[in-house]
A = this chain, B = another copy of it.
Amino acid sequence: MTLRLVPTEEAAEDRLAALARLAQRTRDLMEAVTLTDVPRDELDAVATQLADLTGRLRRMRRTLPWPEVGPEGEIRNLGNAVTGICNPYAPPLVIEPAPGGGVRAEVRFGPVHAGPPGAVHGGVSAMVLDHLLGQAAALAGVGGMTGTLTLRYREPVPYGEPLVATATVTRREGRKSWVDGRIARPDGTSLVEATGLFVTPTSWPVS
């Protein structure tokens, strides 16, 4: 069984890598669409060819959910709107444990995330912090549903520049946990701050 399982897993992993590449090519396209200034006829010609490629991808459709547990037993969230490497909508955010506790992610927003002139949409910052705070709670073993999330907007968030997002659990009280997080410049200047309250369900599965 093992001899047959290994190559099958390799083929599956190979396929996921191809999907991740396709998602990245789609992100590149999204950015090009928001910035392009080619003539109108060329816009139409590209749109027609895009519709053709979409038709080709639609010929077979997944019926199963994403295989969210990797070969090493890790959780991957491949289709997640914030971290999914196979979802072109996701930046995708790469989250890692922070040296001093909690989690961190390096973020570089793009022109598709535009809000006010020259700045990232406040809602996009909110989206990233919602996810990061949830991950900090999960890493601390107090995962659950986000109960409330409060955002404080300090300064406009620039796109095209490297930024750092962090989050850490600050307090626990019974089934409730509070998590603080923020998006900051590399020099530590805080741009957006967030506090989340997470509630662990009474029926939270142990495994």
A56, B65: Cβ atoms closer than 8 Å:
no
User: Is the pair A89, B65 in contact by a Cβ cutoff of 8 Å?
Assistant: no
CA distance A203 to B40 in the complex (A): 40
Q: Which of chain B's residues have a CB closer than 8 A to the CB of A28?
A: 50-51, 54
Q: Which residues of B contact A37 (CB under 8 A)?
A: 60-63
Q: From residue 104 to 140 of chain A, which have CB atoms closer than 8 A to chain B?
A: 111-115, 117, 120-124, 126-131, 134
A163 interface residue per 8 A CB criterion: no
The residue that A26 contacts in the complex, of B50, B60, B123, with Cβ under 8 A, is: B50
Q: Which residue of B lies closest to A153 (CB)?
A: B146
Stretch of A1-9, A17-25, A167-175, A183-191 with 4 or more beta carbons under 8 angstroms from chain B: A17-25
A35 within 8 A of B: yes
How many copies are assembled?
A: 2
Task: Find out whether the CB atom of B150 lies under 8 angstroms from the CB atom of A150.
Answer: yes
Cβ-closest chain B residue relative to A130 = B123
Evaluate contact between B29 and A14: CB separation under 8 angstroms: no
Alpha-carbon distance A121/B145, docked complex (angstroms): 11
- Docked CA distance A83–B180 (Å): 29
Question: With the chains together, A144 CA to B25 CA distance in Å?
Answer: 36
Binding site for B on A (CB under 8 A): 14-15, 18-19, 21-23, 25-26, 28-30, 32-40, 42-44, 46-47, 49-51, 53-54, 56-63, 65, 79-82, 84, 86-89, 111-115, 117, 120-124, 126-131, 134, 145-153
Across the A-B interface, the 9 shortest Cβ-Cβ residue pairs: A123-B127, A123-B130, A89-B112, A32-B57, A36-B57, A81-B121, A126-B126, A37-B60, A18-B43
Further contacts, 5 of them, CB under 8 A, given A88-B112, A89-B89, A89-B113: A21-B43, A22-B33, A36-B57, A38-B60, A146-B151
